[in-house]
Every structure is written in C-alpha cells, then in structure tokens.
C-alpha cells in the first residue's frame, strides 16, 4: 500500500508542482466531457478532510525508498497488479467499441509511489495516466516517468487526492490501497474520494472488491518462543518475567506469517467491500459476530486476519454476511456459502490473496494473540464478536475490540494497531 494524499509537503512543493509544465494543468471552470466530447454535469464535490499532523507523518513515512522496494519485490502483489491491468488492456487501451470508434481512456493511480502501476497502465495503452501521491517519493516517480519516455502520457501530481485538480472525468482508477488487516491506515478513503470526484459512469476500479477474513489459530511455537522461554533460562527460574513478556509480546496485533496448519477452522468473513459502492462512513467502524467449531483438539492462541482482493467488475455480495453460523464443522467442505462472494464465473476473476495457505506476501497475516491460551476440544464452539474502528486520535490507527467465549468462559481483548 502506498499513501497518496497531502498538500502538506515539508519541502515546499505545491500539490501540483511536479506536473505544472507537462500537465498543461487545467483548474476550475471547465467541465468534464464524456467519450463523445459531450459536457458532463459537474457532480457535487465530496467533503475534503483537512490534512493533519498525523497525515503528514504518514506521508513522510512513505518517502523512504525501503518501503517501496519491499512492495515492488513482493512478486505476488506486483505481478498480480500487472496481470490485472493487462487483463483489462482492451478497456484501458480504448479499443474500438461496438460503435466502431476508439475511446480515449484516462486513468488515475491513487497513491502511485514510484509510479510502477501508472507505467503498467501506460504500457497497456492508456491515453493519459494521472499518478497521484502526497509523499515526496512522487519526485522520484516523476523522474522514473521521464526516464521511460512517458511524460506525455503519465502526469505525476504531488499532493493529496482530496486537493489535486484533474479537470476531466477518468475511466479507470487503479490503487494499491490495502493495509495490514486490509483496513489499517485508512487509505481506501482516498480511493473513494477519487471515485466520487472523477470516475465516469461505467468506469473500472482495480481492484474492484476486497474481503477481510478471520479464523481461530493455534501457534504453540510462538508462545514457547516468547513466553515459556522465561520459565527456565540457563537453569534459572525467571518466571517472574512472564507477565511482562505476555504484555510485550501480545498486547498489540502482530504481523507475521503462519501456515494453513495453524488455522483451526474455515474462516469467517469480517467485511466485504465493493469498491464501486462503499462509503467512507461505512469504514469508520466494522462489526461482525462469528461462531466457529474447532476442527481439532488444540490450544487456541488467538485469531488470524487476512484478506483478498479481486480485479473484476462490480461484485454481487450476499444480503447478509454477519449471520452467526457455525463454520468449520466436520461436514463443511469449503467456506460456508453464506460467507462467500458470488461470482458469475470464478475463472474470470484475478485474485490477490494473503491467506495462510497461499504464497506469502509482504502483508503476511495479522494475529491477535490471547495472553493465555484456551484449551479446545474437537467440535468445541468459539463465538463472539469483533469491532474494527478508526482511532479517534488518529484515523489511520485501528482500534480492535474482540469478544470471545468458549467452554463456558468469556473474554475481552482490546488492542490498537499503530
């Protein structure tokens, strides 16, 4: 994920300074036009959130080359995006439609980072790509574009998506907005803003939908490494360290890689996101109730969260994903049908998955560990609820309120993902 919003730039650049000359920047006054050149009515501008000190720190964190190197080297991530763009090449390139006229496709890349996705879109034939990023990495992105002789088609805008001006409608929005646990860092809000400001009716959003999952996990090795280690240190009883060790190891969510063998049941869907219709307000707080049946006898050490995203048209979701069904019982042979997205043809949808059983990505999985494990028997019920909400202190932080009960005992775990 790459941040993209800010007019608050410490180096004195204005939100449009990188693109002022190559852009032939147009501001205000002129209305967007559809593909036939007919003027479109101007939609009401969405309310623009002010840029805060937390935003400035967030953007600054993405100015370091290391984080972009990590993301680009994530081949699952980068190659899936490239494949998705090329899968939609006929649309992006504006190939002749049934009326035998070429469309002239405009793309906006929200949070362009080094500009790699923007360049993929240009290579796919886009007429023009607006590459938007608030971080100072946009300066390097502009140089990358020049080095690849694409300045006439890729226009780098250094600023927040809420603040930059694009005086035409766009046909495609591409963005790698996903954070740990899908919603961490709240970047999806900027994609929604771009959609509401510029996307034409019938436009394409990549990725088009996302799903956040959770499942109970067992991870005895992790517990032994962090906790049981202190019970005997070179023959010395250091058990007095255990309470502090638990707090330090398990107070906050942990981003790490687990395997499918750690997962005790089939997953539950926490949140499904349709990028064509989701609202910013909808993401401020997400709550779901769950009910699992353990598939084996094992200690329950916590819950793992992961996500996948799809690159397709609008997705049809079930009417309710929060019904507390028992998923993972012995007669289930897949994710419960009521917790699964409906696809017209699953073979047509490109999926980027961060699930434990799939090839690893830089997102890994996010684990919320209990301070003390719960011993489970096979078919034992684990039920409760989880609420993910944006922090009042800093909306890019995530507050997690987890309630769980099993074997007649109930627990509450609260943590913050900073």
Q: Are strands 106-110 and 170-174 parallel, antiparallel or unpaired?
A: parallel
CA distances from 116 to 107, 251, 253, 361 (A): 13, 37, 30, 18
Please, which residues have CB within 8 angstroms of residue 55's CB and are 6 or more apart in sequence?
Answer: 5, 6, 8, 134, 160, 396
Residues 64, 68: Cα–Cα separation, whole Å: 7
Choice among 185, 310, 357, 403 that is catalytic = 185
Judged by DSSP in three states, 274 sits in strand
Instruction: Give percent helix, percent strand, percent coil of the chain, each to the nearest 5.
Output: 25, 30, 45
Residue 79 bears catalytic tag? no
Among the listed residues 117, 171, 1, 88, the one whose alpha carbon sits nearest the alpha carbon of residue 350: 88
Q: Are strands 199-206 and 170-174 parallel, antiparallel or unpaired?
A: parallel
Work out the number of other CB atoms within 10 angstroms of the CB of residue 12.
6
Residues 185, 182: Cα–Cα separation, whole Å: 9
Residues 230, 355: Cα–Cα separation, whole Å: 32
Among the listed residues 266, 248, 244, 254, the one whose alpha carbon sits nearest the alpha carbon of residue 355: 266
Q: What is the DSSP string of 59-70?
A: HHHTTSHHHHHH
Among the listed residues 19, 31, 335, 414, the one whose alpha carbon sits nearest the alpha carbon of residue 200: 31
Choice among 165, 176, 225, 310 that is catalytic = 176
Residue 176 bears catalytic tag? yes
Please, which residues have CB within 8 angstroms of residue 138's CB and are 6 or more apart in sequence?
Answer: 18, 112, 131, 156, 157, 158
Q: Are strands 298-311 and 209-217 parallel, antiparallel or unpaired?
A: antiparallel
Judged by DSSP in three states, 19 sits in helix
Among the listed residues 188, 191, 204, 161, the one whose alpha carbon sits nearest the alpha carbon of residue 48: 161
* Token output for 278: 């989701």
Give the residue numbers marked as catalytic. 176, 185
């Amino acid at each position: 994920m790459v941040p993209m919003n800010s007019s608050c730039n410490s180096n004195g650049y204005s939100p449009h300074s990188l693109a002022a000359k190559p852009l032939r920047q147009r501001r205000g006054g002129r209305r967007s036009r559809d593909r036939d050149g007919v003027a479109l009515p101007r939609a009401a501008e969405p309310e623009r959130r002010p840029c805060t000190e937390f935003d400035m720190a967030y953007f600054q964190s993405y100015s370091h080359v290391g984080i972009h190197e990590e993301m680009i080297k994530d081949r699952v991530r980068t190659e899936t995006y490239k494949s998705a763009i090329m899968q939609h090449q006929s649309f992006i390139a504006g190939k002749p439609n049934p009326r035998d006229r070429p469309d002239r496709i405009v793309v906006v890349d929200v949070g362009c980072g080094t500009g790699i996705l923007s360049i993929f879109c240009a290579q796919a034939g886009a007429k023009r790509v607006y590459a938007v990023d608030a971080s100072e990495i946009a300066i390097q992105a502009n140089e990358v574009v020049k080095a690849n002789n694409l300045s006439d088609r890729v226009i780098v805008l250094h600023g927040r998506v809420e603040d930059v001006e694009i005086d035409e409608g766009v046909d495609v929005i591409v963005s790698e907005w996903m954070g740990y646990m899908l919603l961490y860092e709240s970047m999806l809000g900027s994609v929604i803003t771009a959609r509401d400001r510029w996307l034409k009716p019938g436009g394409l959003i990549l990725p088009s939908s996302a799903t956040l999952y959770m499942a109970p996990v067992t991870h005895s090795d992790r517990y032994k490494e962090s906790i049981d280690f202190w019970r005997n240190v070179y023959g010395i009883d250091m058990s007095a360290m255990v309470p502090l060790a638990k707090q330090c190891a398990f107070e906050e969510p942990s981003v790490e890689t687990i395997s499918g063998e750690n997962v005790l049941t089939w997953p539950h869907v926490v949140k499904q996101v349709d990028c064509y219709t989701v609202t910013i307000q909808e993401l401020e707080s997400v709550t779901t109730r769950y009910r699992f049946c353990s598939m084996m006898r094992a200690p329950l050490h916590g819950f793992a969260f992961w996500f996948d995203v799809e690159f397709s048209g609008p997705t049809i979701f079930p009417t309710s994903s929060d019904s507390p069904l028992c998923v993972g019982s012995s007669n289930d042979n897949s994710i419960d049908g009521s917790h699964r997205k409906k696809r017209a043809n699953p073979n047509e949808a490109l999926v980027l998955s961060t699930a434990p059983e799939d090839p690893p990505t830089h997102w890994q999985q996010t684990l919320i560990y209990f301070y003390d494990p719960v011993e489970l028997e096979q078919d034992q019920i684990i039920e409760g609820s989880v609420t993910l909400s944006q922090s009042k202190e800093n909306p890019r932080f995530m507050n997690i309120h987890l309630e769980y009960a099993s074997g007649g005992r109930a627990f509450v775990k609260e943590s913050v993902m900073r």
